[in-house]
Amino acid sequence: MPGYKRVRGTGGQIEPTIVHAKNLTDLNRFLTDRILWATKDELVYYSSIDCMMADVLAIADGGEFELNIGKDVWVTPSRWSTLIRQYVDPDKLFHWLSEVKRVSTYNRGIIAMDMQTVAYQKVESNPRASRRRGGACMRMVTYRAFPQPTVSLHSRTTYLGYIGELDLLLAHKLIELAADMIGDGLSVDDFAFRWKVEVAQVHGFKSLAFIFATGQDKYMRMREWPEGKRIRLAEGRVITLGSIDDHPTWKIVRSWWKRIHGQDKALLPYSANKYGAEKRIRRRYHSQMGIDQTPFLNGENPYVPLSTPIGEITLDRMLYKTPESRAVIRKAKKEKSEKLVTDLFDDDDLDWLPGSEDFADMEEDEVEDVH
């Protein structure tokens, strides 16, 4: 034991956390599951409210992402808009994309965009609920072209299974914009993604949406924890469950679930919930699961089910805030349109249609697949 005072709840993690997936969808699941199913020795910290892993490197080979922020995260589009206003400066984003276009897929350089400084939010009634005491969560985004187009997000911390899914959504949307800016037929799946997080967290009740969306709620609902059971995680790893005390994240999730379930059995009105965040999650749970909210309203309006597919989420409006950005983006789109027309209709002075045999030979000799 060290000869100094340690943080209460310190876990046994000493190795970095490295997660590898084929795209952002799988990365979101694999990374969150790492903390959800971790033992004390695999966590760097655990408490009655959240559990953490440190020194996280999350790697995705492609930028595809499937997410419905309403159904999967239980947040509204306005929560996404708030996050973007807090962290992304339109002028910095425009400059970053311009430099990404310059570097393209064949030049050297690492292009960085610093996130905006987000103010510390102090909650007088509950100091533990204060936010960003240690600084903003997302710090920087970078782009490089080698060994393939790669976007990296650098974070101080993130809440996986909750707002961390919006962090990944931002990364996905930045990849979309970068692919569109560079052109040349690039798609989001041509981009690799890296997420470097100092400490990643899973919250005891704010992660309920993720647990339901991934069909893992049975481990929260079951009366007895299945100690000794062997299960295969989505990542492919097979683990043998220890006691519930050996799995701190599930222990706190089950504790908060039991608390919410008890409130429902007691017909506790929403207005009696002590914590605002707990009240919000309880109400979202009811609305998303189709549970009758009437017994708990006590004069409040019911929540409606949320559904916002990823295709309805955009960053485009941020790019059109200044005349300069509008002009440059219009020019880039015009250049890409003209190039597309040229590629489609420029026949290099060929005014004959080859026969089937000649055409087959031409395809074999001249067409090169680039992935």
Is residue 190 a part of any domain in this protein? yes
Is residue 211 a part of any domain in this protein? yes
Quick one: pLDDT at residue 277?
94
Same-domain status, 26 and 175: yes
Same-domain status, 159 and 268: no
pLDDT average, residue stretch 262-287: 96
Same-domain status, 192 and 266: no
Same-domain status, 84 and 192: yes
Name the band, by pLDDT with cuts 50, 70 and 90, for residue 126: low
Quick one: pLDDT at residue 29?
98
Of 297, 325, 350, the residue that ends a domain is 297
Name the band, by pLDDT with cuts 50, 70 and 90, for residue 107: very high
Same-domain status, 277 and 213: no
Lowest mean per-residue pLDDT among 84-88, 166-170, 249-253, 361-365: 361-365
pLDDT one-digit tens code per residue, 159-200: 999 999 999 999 999 999 999 999 988 999 999 999 999 999
Is residue 84 a part of any domain in this protein? yes
Same-domain status, 194 and 234: no
Is residue 365 a part of any domain in this protein? no
Higher pLDDT, 360 or 43: 43
Is residue 356 a part of any domain in this protein? no
pLDDT for 337 beyond 50: yes
Lowest mean per-residue pLDDT among 105-119, 302-316, 322-336, 357-371: 357-371
Of 248, 272, 297, the residue that ends a domain is 297
Same-domain status, 257 and 201: no
Lowest mean per-residue pLDDT among 64-78, 168-182, 334-348: 334-348
HEC secondary structure over the chain: CCCCCCCCCECCCCCCEEEEECCHHHHHHHHHHHHHCCCHHHCCEECCCEEEEEEEEEEECCCCCCCECCCCCCCCHHHHHHHHHHHCCHHHHHHHHHHHHHHCCCCCCEEEEECCCCCCECCCCCHHHCECCCCCCEEEEEEECCCCCEEEEEEEEEEECCHHHHHHHHHHHHHHHHHHHHCCCCCHHHCEEEEEEEEEEEECCCCHHHHHHCCCCHHHHCCCCCCCCEEECCCCCEEECCCHHHCHHHHHHHHHHHHHHHHHHCCCCHHHCCCHHHHHHHHHHHHHHCCCCHHHHCCCCCCCCCCCEHHHCCCHHHHCCCHHHHHHHHHHHHHHHHHHHHHHHCCCCCCCCCCHHHHHHHHHHHCCCCC
* Number of domains, the chain: 2
Is residue 265 a part of any domain in this protein? yes
Same-domain status, 207 and 268: no
Quick one: pLDDT at residue 261?
96
Is residue 183 a part of any domain in this protein? yes
Of 272, 297, 322, the residue that ends a domain is 297
pLDDT for 210 beyond 50: yes
Range of 35's domain?
A: 17-217
Quick one: pLDDT at residue 330?
58
Quick one: pLDDT at residue 320?
57
Same-domain status, 177 and 49: yes
What CATH number has the domain bearing residue 159?
A: 3.30.572
Q: Whole-model pTM? A: 0.84
Share of the chain above pLDDT 70, in %: 81
Same-domain status, 195 and 276: no
Name the band, by pLDDT with cuts 50, 70 and 90, for residue 365: very low
Same-domain status, 207 and 241: no
Same-domain status, 172 and 36: yes
